Amino acid sequence: MVSMLKEIDELKKEMDAHRPLGKNALKQLKEYYRIGLTYSSNALEGNSLTETETKIVIEDGITIGGKPLKDHYEAIGHSEAYTLLYELAKGKEIREKDILELHKLFYYRIDPENAGTYRKKKVIITGAEFRPPFPSEIPNLMKEFLSNLPRMKKKCHPVEFSALLHKDLVSIHPFIDGNGRTARLLMNLALLQSGYAITIIPPVLRNKYINTLKRAQGKPKDDRPFINFISAMVYEGMKDYVRLLDAL
């Protein structure tokens, strides 16, 4: 694990050597990751759009024949949340209102009543022993979650912090739907704020992703496999980013 973080930080040094990036390079990289992150994060949750179809929906505003309207809304909404992500990355804090706004942008076309608001109903996660907290517990759990962030950020490596941030939010499960996508946006916000690259979890690794998350939520809880998994994803993402920088 320590060696993986060292390798990630070596790649960060390579990234930093390219900075500051020109306006055109920044724009190209931002749009490249907009499609990749939107496609992968939605596909992990069962969205049927391919990466090419996601690009067409976002960039050309064209609907894909035979695909559910909800899948189109998820692509457009995630793209809007991604735009906010880059604005928030200019700051150093993660605030409650930012989490709510990320969810709202992603979800308001699908369910305007519940977009950007904590759930008021109990939920069950299919195929998991983990039971999310009761709705009445969520406001206090979110306050505790947010109050712990400065201490956790100081204590952890930025990559570990981003993984725990993801795990903790999805375990509180504050929203009626879209918790995984909001958690992945939040994870990437933490990475961007610390100078790392956008990290994408490929849909082909969904089972490993879900299984390591289950272990972090199980009894006894074991965060390490999930942190290791996210670290490996960050490492691959950093390699890809450096490759793109070298090509620009």
Confidence grade of residue 247 (pLDDT, cut at 50, 70, 90): confident
Tens of pLDDT, residues 129-149: 889 999 999 999 999 999 999
**3-state DSSP call for residue 114?**
coil
Structural domain includes residue 154: yes
How many angstroms separate the CA atoms of 17 and 9, rounded? 12
Share of the chain above pLDDT 70, in %: 100
pLDDT per residue as tens digits for the range 82-100: 999 999 999 999 999 999 9
pLDDT of residue 3: 83
Active site residue 173: yes
The answer to the question of residue 135 being in a domain is yes
- pLDDT tens per residue, range 212-235: 999 999 888 899 999 999 999 999
pLDDT tens digits for range 203-212: 999 999 999 9
Structural domain contains residue 247: no
The pLDDT score that the predictor gives to residue 2 is: 72
Q: How far apart are alpha carbons 55 and 206 in whole angstroms?
A: 21
Average of pLDDT values for 151-169? 97
Domain assignment of residue 67, yes or no? yes
- Name the band, by pLDDT with cuts 50, 70 and 90, for residue 160: very high
8-31 burial, b at 16+ Cβ within 10 Å, e below that, comes to: beebbeebeeeeeeeeeeeeebee
- pLDDT for 127 beyond 80: no
Cβ-Cβ contacts under 8 Å for 104 (sequence gap 6 or more) = 115, 116
Q: Give the pLDDT of residue 248.
A: 83
Q: Is the pLDDT of residue 128 over 80?
A: no
CB–CB of 49/42 below 8 Å?
yes
CA distance 90 to 98: 13
Give pLDDT, residue 165.
Answer: 98
Check which CATH number belongs to the domain holding 76 and give it.
1.10.3290.10
Of residues 65, 59, 95, 79, the one with CA closest to residue 190: 95
Whether 70 shows a pLDDT value over 90: the answer reads yes
Provide the domain count of the chain.
1
Residue 11 falls within a domain, yes or no?
A: yes
Distance in angstroms (rounded) separating the CA atoms of residues 243 and 15: 10
The pTM of this model reads 0.96
Q: What is the DSSP letter of 125?
A: -
Q: How far apart are CA 216 and CA 159, in angstroms?
A: 16
Residue 74 lies in domain = 2-242
Is 80 exceeded by the pLDDT of residue 192?
yes
Specify the pLDDT at position 183. Answer: 98
The answer as to whether 69 is a domain residue is yes
Q: Is the peptide bond prior to 68 cis by the omega test (within 30 degrees of 0)? A: no
Flag whether 63 is in a domain.
yes
In a domain, 121, yes or no: yes
Alpha carbons 215 and 223: distance in angstroms, whole number: 7
